[in-house]
Amino acid sequence: GSQFCASQAYESSHADELSVPAGARVRVLEMSDRGWWLCRFGGRCGLLPAVLLRPEGLGALLSGSGLHRQEDSEEARVGDPQRPPEIPQGTTLTPMVPAHPPLSAIQTR
């Protein structure tokens, strides 16, 4: 499986889910297009919302999350269609967690 990092803490609400702290390194055993991935953390296996997981190491670089752009230059700030909208400092955006599918639906995909 691939190594990923939890972007924020997640508290399980079903027996087949994992609880992880923010920054936890998890191993993804199975990916699914249903929004939940089968993962291993702390000797346990269970489901985690995929939106909370970020690639770690080389995977992070290849996905772009580890690359730094020159944000301080005026050229990078004016009219840059790739730049996300400004978010006030101290504001935390919570990703939308999809509906929880049964574990069997993840394992059959």
pTM to 2 decimal places: 0.57
How far is Cα 7 from Cα 25, in angstroms, rounded to an integer? 10
pLDDT classification of 53: cutoffs 50, 70, 90: very high
Q: List the chain domain ranges.
A: 1-57
Place of tokens 């972007």: 7
Q: What average pLDDT does the segment 84-109 reach?
A: 68
Q: What is the pLDDT of residue 42?
A: 93
Looking at the predicted structure, is the pLDDT value of residue 34 above 50? Answer: yes
The residue among 17 and 65 whose pLDDT is bigger is 17
Q: What average pLDDT does the segment 51-73 reach?
A: 60
Cα 30 to Cα 10, 71, 80, 109: the distances in Å are 18, 36, 36, 9
Looking at the predicted structure, is the pLDDT value of residue 20 above 70? Answer: yes
Domain 1-57, second-level architecture: Roll (2.30)
The angle formed by the CA atoms of residues 20, 33 and 17, to the nearest 5 degrees, is: 25
Q: What is the pLDDT of residue 96?
A: 76
Tokens representing residue 62 in the block: 């290849």
Q: What is the pLDDT of residue 72?
A: 41
